[in-house]
A and B are shown apart, each in its own frame.
Chain A
Amino acid sequence: MKVTIKEWNAVAAWRWDMPDDDVCGICRNPYDSTCSKCKYPGDDCPLLLGECNHSFHMHCIFSWLRQESAQEKCPMCRQPFKSKNQEAAAPEAGTQPVQPDTIAP
């Protein structure tokens, strides 16, 4: 018997490579979900890992680092927060962070 496949749909799931039940310490939403302001998880609302190995939604940690009182420290361990990821650097005080490419709605 020969079977001819006329049509097929591929389905894929994704998740961040993070522990299952972990939440962002700032917004308390799961890493796989978004920060409190975004609608779509994933590349639109990425995570940022610090050199201290604490991670947050990028938008959450940027909101914090923009505060003068944050003194550019990690909210968890109070060490200077530096991104481990080369592409996304911490914002300069008083400037808007560089937004990743977003998909137009």
Chain B
Amino acid sequence: MFASKRLAKELQKLHDKLPPGITLVKADDLQEWIMDIRVVDNNPIYVGEVYRLKFTFSQSYPIEAPEVVFVRDETHPIPWHPHIYSNGIICLDLLDRQGWSPVHNVESVCVSLQSMLTSNTKKERPEGDDNFVRNNRLRPRDINFIFHDNQV
């Protein structure tokens, strides 16, 4: 299939070299990978914290976007951002069906998320976070996000 060959190639490259602030934590198979990211500049909202990302790949990756969410544990909080829900679901056009392109990869997604955090100045959750976190039963890929804010 498409996904396994391409992911094996990406994995090899990730083991080799990664941009600053990005680490590969776990990639035991070609279905689910864990990556850690931190913001490399001194944005006070994110200083000293490391965030954990879970990538889930379908058989059609990279034709289909991976599912990417932040995961929380004792040492990894969910980063504050007006487009990141407190359950870790990320609203970013790049990860949505309409914005994804098969030339993206795990590394470029991590870099995009890093830069999304770097440029943020608001220690906020999206509007309706409580309600969304309580009621959403959809997988991130099935949510129809409306992208209205091009600032961040």
A interface with B by C-beta (< 8 Å): 25-29, 36-37, 60, 63-64, 67, 69, 75-76, 78
Contact = CB atoms under 8 A, between A and B. Distances in A.
Interface stretch (B18-26, B41-49, B98-106, B132-140): B98-106
Interface of A is mostly: loop
B82 interface: no
B34 to A, nearest CB: 21
Nearest to A76: B103
* CB-CB nearest 9 A-B residue pairs: A25-B103, A69-B97, A75-B101, A36-B5, A26-B102, A75-B103, A36-B2, A28-B9, A75-B102
Interface of B is mostly: loop
Contacts of A63: 2, 63
Given A64-B63, A67-B63, A27 B101 contact: no
Interface residues of B, number: 16
A64 B63 CA distance: 6
Contacts of A64: 63, 102
Interface in B75-132: 97-98, 100-103, 105
A36 B59 CA distance: 12
A25 B62 CA distance: 10
A27 B98 contact: no
Residue picked from A28, A60, A64, most chain B C-beta under 10 Å = A28
A69 B100 contact: yes
B6 A25 contact: no
Contact of A37 (B2, B10, B97, B102): B2
A63 B64 CA distance: 10
Contacts of B103: 25-26, 75-76
Nearest to A68: B97
B1 interface: yes
